[in-house]
Amino acid sequence: MSLKSKSNFITILIHVLSWVVLVALFLYQPLSWNMEVPYQFWIKQALILSMLIVAYYINAEILVPRYLLKNHTGIYFLFVLALVAVMLSLSTFADSWLNMDQLMEAAFHKHGPPRPRGKKHHLDVTMIAIVALVLGISTSITAIQKWQGDIRLREALEQDKISSELSFLKAQINPHFFFNTLNNIYALTLVNADTSRKALHQLSRMMRYVLYDTQHGTARLSQEVAFIKDYINLMELRLTDKVTVKFELPATVNDMAVAPMIFLPFVENAFKHGISATLPSSILISIEQHAEKLELKVENGIFKDQNTNLEENKGIGLTNTIRRLDLLYPGKYNLRINEDAAANTYSVHLTLSLS
């Protein structure tokens, strides 16, 4: 059963139960008198019940949506007072038409002591209380349904907004990644053609993952780890002996769904700013898994290239990844980024709950 169908079923159930309770109340008092009442009394009860049903749905379908929920409170209460007045008038007319006063006096006289004086006034007060109760229930249920409908609508709009934003962020990350990687391969073609061909083969495998294996918005953790491994191997093709790259993986990977390319910008950033062509440098990348908790640690030195192009300086990948974490894992991740200028080190520690 869909959420909408379930909501409609609950609404119908509430209406049915409300009217069953009201009918039971209408029947309970006369039956508790332990006397035979004239059939005209039941006709009047049926008329009053019909009027209450009409008043309920006039209020629920017309007055509350058009006036109360649109902040026309004064007009709403004027219509409610008019509705109460009409129902009291119809009740009085039904008494006169069915000659209820004389019939009920005779019934009470026949089966017991005379009716107390002032009973008619008491019945009017009771009628007002019943009408007010029914209209109050009608207003409450309608307002609650409107409130729940607004919540569902806001949730749907927010989900659509998040989906659109995630698609936009992913569309930005992918070209950003390929842009940087192609730049690296271009540099390799100037040095070693065989190595550049190997790099292109690895890149094609990575592109297949990005373009085809992540279409549903998630990937298996093992796929994401393999992707990071391919990326590191690709980057290592252009590194000198002065650079040390250490990549630590869990002995066994418990496959779980994870957002694709969620680790890439952190790893990419390490290769972008953490290596030097002339000075000794090292990069440590560690992925650990503890049940449903995933940890990524990246540590590197800082060797900022003064000739870094404008596209890289924008930091699109890293910024968008943090935004994706906010959207996909709200309250389920912890990201610590520490840049120590004195020690010339940069570290990232991401803890992600996949539960």
Residue of 112 and 264 predicted with greater confidence = 264
Closest CA to 354 of 337, 334, 336, 329: 329
Examine residue 206 and state whether it is found in any structural domain, yes or no.
yes
CATH of the domain at 343: 3.30.565.10
- In sequence order, the β-bridge partners of residue 324 are none
Query: Do 84 and 131 meet the contact criterion of CB atoms below 8 Å apart?
Result: yes
Tell me what pLDDT residue 303 has: 79
Listed residues 106, 136, 155: the one ending a domain: 155
Q: Which amino acid is at 30?
A: P
- Going by pLDDT thresholds of 50, 70 and 90, the confidence category of residue 308 is very low
pTM of the model: 0.53
Residue 345 CB contacts under 8 Å (≥ 6 apart), including other chains: 299, 300, 301, 302, 338, 339
Residues 139 and 239 in one domain: no
Cα–Cα distance measured from residue 101 to residue 253, given in angstroms and rounded to the nearest whole number: 85
Residues 342 and 198 in one domain: yes
Residues 130 and 198 in one domain: no
Q: Report pLDDT digits (tens) over 24-83.
A: 766 666 655 666 666 677 777 788 888 888 888 899 889 998 888 888 889 989 999 988
Where b means 16+ CB within 10 Å and e means fewer, 291-306 reads eeebebbbbbbebeee
Domain range for 65: 3-155
**Mean pLDDT taken over the chain:** 78
Residues 246 and 326 in one domain: yes
Residues 228 and 113 in one domain: no
Examine residue 301 and state whether it is found in any structural domain, yes or no.
yes
- The arithmetic mean of pLDDT across residues 278-289, rounded, is 92
Cα–Cα distance measured from residue 261 to residue 291, given in angstroms and rounded to the nearest whole number: 21
Q: Report pLDDT digits (tens) over 207-254.
A: 888 777 777 778 889 988 988 998 898 888 778 888 999 999 887 888
Q: What total number of domains does the chain contain? A: 2
